[in-house]
Structure 1
Amino acid sequence: MVWDPQQYLKFSGHRLRPAVDLLMRIPDFAVREIADLGAGAGNVTKLIKERWPNATVTGVEGSAEMVAAGRQAAPDVVWSHEDLGQWRPAKQYDLIYSNAALHWLPNHAALFPSVMDRVAPGGMLAVQMPRNFTAPSHVLIGETALNGPWRAKVEHLVTPPPVEGPGFYHNLLAPMSANIDIWETEHLQVLEGDNPVKEWTKGTWLTRYLDVLQGEEKAAFEAAYGERVAKAYPKNGAGQTLFPFRRLFMVAQRKS
């Protein structure tokens, strides 16, 4: 999947809010080594470095386009261009932070204990993932994929929601944790512009589908989805679009 940093950052204020919420829930403790998994364009990684200026912060990111943007946004961060699914560091970290990234990876039953295993004893794992996959914004992508001449090319992308409920992650992490805090928040995002929910998903989930298609077919898919999602999220009397978005958070401290 090819990421477009500019498309993703169109809604940088809204996307930054949960990242900062997660960052602020991490207690102060001695930190020397930090990994930011799925560091993206570096706007959050920069904040991590500002909070712990004496720590070595490594931004791990699978998109070359995002790494290039990240190096500009946070030049004092160590950048590692590698597939998150293949991330197998030789060392442990005092803090592993991941904002809106791990939902792209499969098999969370194995993934989360594996990531927690790379946290040093007494260290912290802090994760935020969107859990909006049953909302119209995402369901209508699948509906569009299954109802058009492009179906054979994209139907393999229509899969069950990639993020489980809070209890699932508690059961995975609690045996390895001294303390664990898991919560959900639904932000009522007030968006401006023409069909902003389409533009939002075009920066993330919709990109998976558009990458598979070309030319007129790609444009037709985007237009068909855009028509559906505009009806699902009509503008209010002030010309704004209200877009509720649910997110799952967790902060777990590794047993000493």
Structure 2
Amino acid sequence: MRRSPVWSPEQYGTYADERARPFRDLVDRIGATDVRSVVDLGCGPGALTATLRDIWPEATIRGIDSSPQMLEAAAQYADDHLSFELGDVREWSGDDLDVIVTNATLQWVPEQLDLLPGFVRALRPGGWLAIQIPGNGDAPSHAILRELANKPPYAEYAKDASLRPDVPGPADYIEALSALGCRVDAWETTYFHVLAGDNAVLEWVKGTGARPVLQSLPDDVRPAFEAEYGARLAEAYPQKPYGTVLPFRRIFAVAHKER
């Protein structure tokens, strides 16, 4: 049986500024005013959720995440206007919300388009839904991961953990959210992050995309996998004097519920 990975706020926080940029670009396209209630679905360690207080200082903001480890890290940001709670995005429901943000979360949910009607219903008339997901499933970082996870001796443990659902593109979001009575702004961006440090792409993916695979491996198998994976990544993403370039495609959709 495939187990949910235990997420590490510390590892995820590596290259925090680069991870934050898509969140800022997403939220910048939300045109909400007089905001009273905000939910961040898949809030992670809470640092980005906390920045929403600066945008909507009068709002009540809730961060929801399925990882106890992430929520433990997020607790440091809680105050009278900002709270965090354990929850699964697939089971969540709400009502009378002004803004729903879900950043780098829905890529893990195969049925994510089926969740959109519930998200839109949770918005008050005139509310906003903002979604960002990685769209880099064909990148070398992921292709190499799948290849290694599907060969001996790793496949016995990691084959299922390497499976990732197909993700919608901007046009899919436009079609699905328009059918729910929303005006939709959808786009994609490829960031070219310049990462510092040795084997920087390995350190990046250990906090996110590669984590389920790495955690599926027994302790006596994992070091060999990580060494082989790291060597392949270093070849695919060579380190330069100025850093390592990681092209990273991301997909965005911002929907405004009609009044």
- Using the size of structure 2 for normalisation, the TM-score is 0.93
Once the two structures are superposed, the pairs formed by residues 126-205 of structure 1 within 5 Å of their partners are 126-159=130-163, 161-205=165-209
Amino acid at match of 1:125: L
Aligned to 1:46: 50
Say yes or no: does 1:247 pair with 2:244: no
| Correspondence for 2:17 | 13
Are the counterparts in 2 of residues 41 and 73 from structure 1 also a CA contact under 8 Å? no
CA distance in 1, matches of 2:257, 2:225: 45
1:110 matched to which residue of 2?
A: 114
The SS at the match of 1:197 is helix
For residue 88 of structure 1, report the CA deviation from its aligned partner: 2.5
CA positional deviation for 1:50: 1.8
The separation in 1 between residues aligned to 2:38 and 2:115, in whole angstroms, is 18
> Offset of 1:239 from its aligned partner?
4.9
Report 1:227-246 matches (<5 A). 227-236=231-240, 238-246=241-249
Q: Distance in 2 between matches of 1:128 and 1:190?
A: 21
1:161, CA displacement in angstroms? 4.6
Please, what is the CA RMSD of the aligned residues?
1.4
- 1:83 maps to a residue whose letter is D
Match of 2:86 in 1: 81
**Kindly tell me: are residues 74 and 20 of structure 1, through their superposed partners in 2, closer, same or farther at Cα, counting changes over 3 Å?**
farther
Query: Displacement, 1:75?
Result: 3.6
What amino acid is aligned across from residue 19 of structure 2 in structure 1? R
Alpha-carbon distance in structure 2 between the residues aligned to 1:214 and 1:46: 36
Name the SS of the counterpart of 2:93 in structure 1. coil
The Cα shift of 1:113 comes to 2.4
- CA shift for structure 1 position 211: 1.4
Q: What percentage of residue pairs aligned between the two structures are identical?
A: 39
TM-score by length of 1: 0.94
The residue aligned with 1:122 is 126
Partner amino acid, structure 2, of 1:245: F
Distance in 1 between residues matched to 2:92 and 2:117, nearest whole Å: 13
Alignment partner of 2:7 out of 3, 6, 9: 3
Q: CA deviation at 1:73?
A: 3.0
- Give the secondary structure class of the aligned counterpart of 1:148: coil
C-alpha distance 6-75 of structure 1, shift in aligned 2 (>3 A): farther
The size of the alignment, in residue pairs, is 254
Instruction: Give the whole-Å Cα distance in 1 for the aligned partners of 2:149 and 2:32.
Output: 46
Tell me how far apart the structure 2 counterparts of residues 74 and 148 of structure 1 sit (CA, whole Å): 46
Q: Distance in 1 between matches of 2:78 and 2:207?
A: 21
1:132 corresponds to which letter in structure 2?
N
The letter of the residue matching 1:243 is L
Alpha-carbon distance between aligned partners in 2 of 1:223 and 1:73, rounded to the nearest angstrom = 36
Structure 1 residue ranges without an equivalent (≥5): none
d(CA) in 1 for partners of 2:253 and 2:172? 12
Quote the Cα distance in structure 2 between the aligned partners of 1:183 and 1:12: 23
